[in-house]
Structure 1
Amino acid sequence: MKSVVFSMVLVLSLLYCFAHFSNAAIPCGTVDMKAAACISFATGKDAKPSAACCSSLQQLARSVKSVDDKKAICRCLKAAVKNFAGVQDKLLSQIPNACKINVGFPVSMNTNCETIH
């Protein structure tokens, strides 16, 4: 009887931990990988976002499950653009529309990620 109760407690604990960690925000490494194909457009080297850029960002948008995910993506993108010289804010803001993605917040280097809902 004790082993059955112990097993049930163990299984429930594992399920709780799995559920808790599966709701974690999207990591910056994933965001950076998905957004990398958009740098040429964001710096003005390409006239429009590439198919790879749009496809990757559409995949990222589909992975959003919560407001925390949106905030995490926003913070990651803001941190990443600082590493690339020549990124133009006006071009960044055009990417969601050009790629037909509804992100639910303004895409800008000046966006306050904490106010996203």
Structure 2
Amino acid sequence: MKNLFFSMVFLLSFLFFLAHVSEAAITCGTVDVKAASCVTFATGKDTKPSAACCSGLQQLTQSVKSVDDKKTICRCLKAGVQKFNGVQDKFLSKIPDACKIKVTFPVSLSINCETIR
């Protein structure tokens, strides 16, 4: 009976662990895919963000569940824009309003992602 009890506790603990592990965290790969179509606006080649850009960023904002998610997205975006020449703050800062996305921090190349709350 004692072994059965410990087996059940172990099984329940293991299932609980699996349930939490299976929840996918936001990855830079996901962020890159969702934000890729924003590059032409961020570099000034387009006059407004594309529908795909806004849709991708809206999907990212909907996936945010915690402050850590915000910080991860921020870090990924900062790393991602460094791959493209010509990305400018004056364009980046316009994306939230143009896409009707509410963000609680300034969108800038110089943002310190660790300060996001």
Shift of 1:3: 3.6
Shift of 1:13: 2.5
Shift of 1:52: 0.6
Shift of 1:62: 0.2
Aligned length in residues: 116
Please give the alpha-carbon distance, in whole angstroms, between the structure 1 residues aligned to 2:59 and 2:89: 22
Q: Which residue identity does 2:40 align to in structure 1? A: S
Tell me the equivalent position of 1:110. 110
| RMSD of aligned alpha carbons | 1.6
Shift of 1:35: 0.3
Q: Which runs of 4+ in 1 moved over 6 A?
A: none
Shift of 1:25: 4.2
Unaligned runs of at least 5 residues, structure 2: none
TM-score, length-scaled by structure 1: 0.90
Shift of 1:21: 5.7
Please give the alpha-carbon distance, in whole angstroms, between the structure 2 residues aligned to 1:14 and 1:30: 27
The question of whether the paired residues in 2 share the 8 Å contact of 1:25 and 1:68 is answered with no
1:29-48 correspondence to structure 2 within 5 Å: 29-48=29-48
Q: Which residue identity does 1:7 align to in structure 2? A: M
1:2-81 correspondence to structure 2 within 5 Å: 2-3=3-4, 5-19=6-20, 22=23, 25-81=25-81
**Identity, % of aligned positions:** 64
Please give the alpha-carbon distance, in whole angstroms, between the structure 2 residues aligned to 1:42 and 1:110: 14
The question of whether the paired residues in 2 share the 8 Å contact of 1:25 and 1:72 is answered with no
3-state secondary structure, aligned to 2:34 = helix
Please give the alpha-carbon distance, in whole angstroms, between the structure 2 residues aligned to 1:109 and 1:14: 42
Please give the alpha-carbon distance, in whole angstroms, between the structure 2 residues aligned to 1:71 and 1:14: 29
Tell me the equivalent position of 2:99. 99
Shift of 1:26: 1.2
Are 1:89 and 2:89 counterparts? yes
Shift of 1:19: 2.0
3-state secondary structure, aligned to 2:57 = helix
